[in-house]
Amino acid sequence: MRGTLTVFRKEISDYFSSKIFLILLALIYIAGLGFAFLSIQSIKSAPMSTDQALLVKVFIDELFFLKLYTVGEIKAIMTFNLVRFFGAFIPLIGILFGFNAINSERNSGNMSRILSQPIYRDNLINGKFLAGITSLSIMIASIILIILGIGFRTIGVPPTSEEILRIFIFIIICIIYGAFWMSLSLLFSVIMRNVAAAILTAIPIWLFLTFFWPFIAPQIADQIIPVTDGSSLATQLKNLSLSVDLLRISPFILFYESTAAIVDPTLGHFALRITESDLSKLIARPLSLSQSLLQIWPQLIVVIALAIICFAVSYVVFMKQEIRST
C-alpha cells in the first residue's frame, strides 16, 4: 500500500506540472464555460411553440440547473450539448493519461530502476491508474461544479436536493466512462512496447466507436431487417430494436443513455432516435430519480465491467512480463 501511495503522489505531481494536463484543463474549461453561456442564453431567448412553452413552464423552472448541461432547449437531446461534448472528449483525456503509463518507463530504462526499489509491480500499475483517475475526476468535477456556480449566480436561487444528487451522479458516470477509456489505453501501453503504436491504436478505436459507429449501426440493422413503406409494425419494431442493440456496442451510446436519463429526465427515456414529432406527444411527466437510476443501471454495469476487464488484463499481463535492466 505504501508503494502504491508513493507512485500515486509522484504521478499526480507529474500530471499537474505537465503541459498536456494544463492544456487539456484549459480546453475543457473553455468549452464548459462556453456551453454554460449558450445554455443560459438559450433558456432566456429561445422561441417556443405552445406545447414547448407548457413543458418549459412545468419543468425548466424546477430543473434549471440540469438544463445548463443540455443547452437549455426542450429538444436538447438533438443538439450538441455539454453531455455530448463530455462523451466525445472524456475518452481522449483517458487515452492521453494511460497510453504511455507503462511503455514509456520501459523504453526509458526507468522500469528496472523503479522496481529495484521497495516498490512492487502491482504498486506501480495501481499507483499510475489511481493517479490518472484522480486527475480525470478533478478535471470533470471542477468544470461541472463551476457551471453549477454560474447557474446559481445567474438566477440567485440554489439548486434543489434532487438536482444536486443528479449532478453528483452525473459526475460519477463521467468518471466511470473515463476510467474505461483509461484502462483500455493502459492495456495498450502494457502490451505494446512502442508509445506511438499504443496511442495510434487507442485513438482510432475511440474515433470509430464515438463518431462512426452511431451512423454505421442503423445501416447494418436496415440491411439485416429491411424496412420499406409497406413494412408491418412488427418489422419496424424489430429493425429499431436491432439498431438500438447494435448502437449499444459503443461505450459512447451507453454513456449518453445514462447521462440523458439523469440530466434530462423529461426526455431521458427517449434517448435514442427521438424525432421532433415525438415532442408534441410527450406527456409532461419526467422520470423521478429512482426511475432514472433504474433505467441506467444496465448501461453503467456494462461500462464498469468493461473497465474492470481491461484493467484486469493489463494487470495480469504486466505482472507476467519480463523486465530487463537494459
Give the model's pLDDT for residue 15: 84
Average pLDDT of the residues in 268-276: 46
- Count up the domains in the chain and report the number: 1
* Side-chain half-sphere CA neighbours of 7 within 13 A: 25
CB 159 within 8 A of CB 148: yes
Average pLDDT of the residues in 190-212: 89
For residue 217, give its domain range: 2-320
The CA-CA-CA angle for residues 168, 134, 89, to 5°, reads 70
**In this predicted structure, which of 159-168, 172-181, 282-291 has the lowest mean pLDDT?**
282-291
pTM here is 0.83
How far apart (Å, rounded) are the C-alpha atoms in residues 151 and 132? Answer: 29
Residue 109 falls in which region: left (phi positive, over 0), alpha (psi -120 to 50) or beta: left
Residue 326 covered by a domain: no
CB 98 within 8 A of CB 295: no
Nearest to 69 by CA among 175, 174, 213: 174
Average pLDDT of the residues in 29-49: 69
Residue 225 covered by a domain: yes
CB 77 within 8 A of CB 267: yes
Q: How far is CA 24 from CA 92, 93, 137, 176, in A?
A: 10, 7, 13, 19
Is pLDDT at 283 greater than 60 in this prediction? no
Q: What is the Cα gyration radius of the chain?
A: 22
Residue 244 covered by a domain: yes
When mean pLDDT is compared over 43-57, 138-152, 175-189, 261-275, the highest value belongs to: 175-189
How far apart (Å, rounded) are the C-alpha atoms in residues 197 and 188? Answer: 8
Is pLDDT at 298 greater than 70 in this prediction? yes
**In this predicted structure, which of 36-45, 52-61, 79-88, 195-204 has the lowest mean pLDDT?**
52-61
Residue 325 covered by a domain: no
Please tell me which residue, 121 or 295, carries the higher pLDDT value: 295
